[in-house]
Amino acid sequence: MTTPPTNGLNTAPQQPSTRLSVNQATIKYAGLGEALRVVRDTGVQSIGLWREPVAEVGLPEAARLVTDSGLRVSSLCRGGFFTAVEGPTRRASLDDNRRAIDETATLAAAGAPGSAAVLVLVAGGLPDGSTDLTGARARMRDAVAELEPEARATGVTLALEPLHPMYAADRAVLSTLGQALDIAEQFPAEAVGVVVDTFHIWWDPAVAEQIARAGASGRIASYQVCDWVTPLPADVLLARGMMGDGHIDFATLTRAVTAAGYTGDVEVEIFNQKIWDSDPAAVVERTVRAFAETVPL
């Protein structure tokens, strides 16, 4: 046996794609300050934020940290969860979404030029004990209609995220890109778009035509990537894997998104206990490498 030559290619720091954004959920246990620092120090130029770590430091301080980081903000996760029937729970949810719209505008303004004022919306599931999927879907649509004027007035895009159908009962009654576009297209494109997340939509036989449709109507507000790994873990919320570790064809999906005209940041958003338990800086470095190997931009 001979020792293979080492040219350092696998360990040398890699210049990240200028369009890569690391969603903070990928390094969930880092606070906002640490997340911004780790992402920036790796040479990544953009970050996707979550409301909880923003709330931990307060919105004004969060905006200051974002500005100081020099990073773009690619989205804020997340609003939504508005399938409740009319009553105090629904009103509280809509009020919370209004606050999320304002936070999105503030954080995008605090980010570097090219930041996107995009609020990711997860629909919410069936109310407890209900089997009325059609009704829940109608109430989701009505909530978007109620929030859309405020989003438009503040320059925020509501990004409807279809979630994988395995979450339809308990998390998101919005299940396909086509269904999301059926709603989004009822409103101005600058106010209501969709999230294209590979994990949620890769299986859809209509995915190519729906990505093209989303592009044609200017609705792709966010493109997120992570992989589908099997076997699914016991908690399917944590089923996402690093690109390349699973079954998704990122090349085909990314080319479709590009052909549809999307030129914005591409977020890596991974919910995965093993990744969360790793050092955040190492995770971001691994993300940079995996992104370069799997996502053709």
Which stretches of the chain bind a copy of itself, using CB under 8 A? 126, 130-134, 137, 164-166, 168-170, 175-176, 178-179, 182, 202-206, 228, 230-232, 234, 236, 246-249, 252
Cβ partners under 8 Å of residue 54, min gap 6 = 32, 62, 76, 103, 107
Task: Return the H-helix or E-strand segment holding 160.
Answer: strand 157-160
- The CB-of-194 to a copy of itself minimum distance in angstroms stands at 14
**What DSSP designation does 187 have?**
S
- The CB-of-176 to a copy of itself minimum distance in angstroms stands at 6
CB-wise, 41 or 293, nearer to a copy of itself? 293
C-alpha span between 79 and 70 (Å, rounded): 25
- The CB-of-228 to a copy of itself minimum distance in angstroms stands at 6
Strand-pair partners of 119: 76, 158
Strand-pair partners of 72: 46
- The CB-of-163 to a copy of itself minimum distance in angstroms stands at 10
Secondary structure (DSSP) of 246-286: SS--HHHHHHHHHHTT--S-EEE----HHHHTS-HHHHHHH
Q: Which two tokens stand for residue 74?
A: 């690619």
CB-wise, 15 or 128, nearer to a copy of itself? 128
- The CB-of-150 to a copy of itself minimum distance in angstroms stands at 26
CB-wise, 47 or 144, nearer to a copy of itself? 144
C-alpha span between 83 and 135 (Å, rounded): 8
CB-wise, 78 or 171, nearer to a copy of itself? 171
CB-wise, 49 or 194, nearer to a copy of itself? 194
- The CB-of-99 to a copy of itself minimum distance in angstroms stands at 29
Contact between 27 and 38 under an 8 Å Cβ cutoff? The reply is yes
CB-wise, 42 or 179, nearer to a copy of itself? 179
- The CB-of-132 to a copy of itself minimum distance in angstroms stands at 7
Q: How many CB atoms lie within 10 A of CB 81?
A: 19
CB-wise, 37 or 137, nearer to a copy of itself? 137
Closest to 268 in 3D by CA, of 38, 27, 11, 81: 27
Burial of 277 (0-12, 13-18, 19+ CB in 10 A): exposed
